[in-house]
Amino acid sequence: MSNIEQTLSIIKPDAVERNIDNEIKQMFKNKGFSVVKEKKIQIEKSEAEKFYKVHETKPFYNDLCSYLSSGPIVVMVLEKENAVLDNRKLMGATNPKDAEEGTIRRKYGISIDKNSVHGSDSDENAKIEIDFFFRD
């Protein structure tokens, strides 16, 4: 039985700034993801605060929101079977130091905060996050 899903991916400012967004996008395509929607934007800090609201009590929340709004990002809807989980696997651990060989964060991540990509962590959050950026 097929389980085609969509998930939200963000290429974060550290990666867009280094002009590696196309290389990262190619890694998704190589793993069978289709990029069904895509836009390059810069968001306000207030929007980043809404997007990362689940983290509002965390000590890193303020820096995280400043960071996500600090420069252009590429926001994409990725589609394939088991997209949510497979995207998390391809991204690798939150801290690039812990990310496995072959993952995006291992290859491109600079630090735990500048870790190059965001990906939805559940099917439910994928729907919420896709709606957040692509409601129209």
Is 55 considered catalytic here?
no
Under DSSP, the state recorded for 94 is: S
Q: Report the nearest approach of Mg ion to the CB of residue 121 (Å).
A: 5
Kindly state the greatest CA–CA separation across the chain. 42
Start-to-end Cα distance in the chain: 31
CA distance 72 to 94: 21
Contact 46, 52 (CB under 8 A): no
Q: Which is nearer to Mg ion, 28 or 119 (CB)?
A: 119
Looking at residue 56, its amino acid is E
Q: Report the nearest approach of ligand CDP to the CB of residue 36 (Å).
A: 21
Does 123 sit near ligand CDP (CB under 6 A)?
Answer: no
SS3 51: helix
Length of the chain: 136
Stretch that binds ligand CDP, among 19-27, 32-40, 75-83, 108-116 (CB under 6 A): 108-116
Of 15, 51, 118, 120, catalytic: 118
Residue nearest to Mg ion (CB): 121
Pick the binder of ligand CDP from 118, 126, 130, 133 (CB under 6 A): 118
Task: Tell me which residues in 28-57 interact with ligand CDP (CB under 6 A).
Answer: 55
Which residues does the annotation mark as catalytic?
A: 118
